[in-house]
Amino acid sequence: MIEIRDNSVIITGYVNAVERESDFIPSPKGRFKEIIKAKVFERALSRAKDVLLLFNHDENRILGSITQGNLKLMEDSIGLKAETEIRDSSIIEKAKQNNFLQGWSFGFIERKSRFEKGSDGIERRFIEDLDLIEVSLLSVKPAYPCCSVEIRNNGIYERRYSDLLIDATSTKSFVDLSRYENEIRFLKLKGMTI
């Protein structure tokens, strides 16, 4: 839900639905689907000192945070629900454009997960615990049906957008890691050990 006011926009929605499968997520080991288990966000929020609100996961576009008072997050029976009031004039203008804001995403560091191969042959990753770092409003199509996800494995930031294609069979190994290095530096500034 988006409510546009004179000098702010109020946005409410679900960042992620728990116990539901993502679309296929590409990885160097092959595609898999992911499921965030119930109560994972609740535990993460109870531990979090703060969670940032970003635009497109850009740490230079901080729109607010829990401690700034303009971001409320909670896990209910559906999943991670967010409510925010944004006063950034460019976001207000973009919110007025039909279909500019495409959904939500979130950034986390995995604490506990497991992989299982189903009887259908599909590999599934079950996230059982995580540290929530940020939630983002997206101007790109989310990879998850209700949002998108950003996964960090062993301190590595990975982006998940449906318009990002990764060829897991490619023999070319060039990857521009500058963006990930910036994200790792950002996490270290927030006090995370990587």
CATH number for position 77: 3.20.16
Q: With respect to residue 194, please indicate whether it lies within any of the assigned structural domains.
A: no
Q: With respect to residue 164, please indicate whether it lies within any of the assigned structural domains.
A: yes
Q: With respect to residue 104, please indicate whether it lies within any of the assigned structural domains.
A: yes
Query: How many structural domains does the chain have?
Result: 1
pTM: 0.73
Reading the chain (194 residues) residue by residue, the pLDDT tens digits are 778 887 888 888 889 889 998 888 887 778 899 999 999 999 999 999 999 999 988 889 999 999 999 999 999 999 999 999 999 988 888 877 766 777 888 889 889 999 999 999 999 999 999 999 999 988 876 655 655 333 334 444 444 443 333 333 333 333 344 455 555 655 655 565 65
CA dist 30 → 16, 25, 122, 130, 166 (Å): 23, 8, 10, 22, 10
Structural domain for 147, as ranges: 2-189
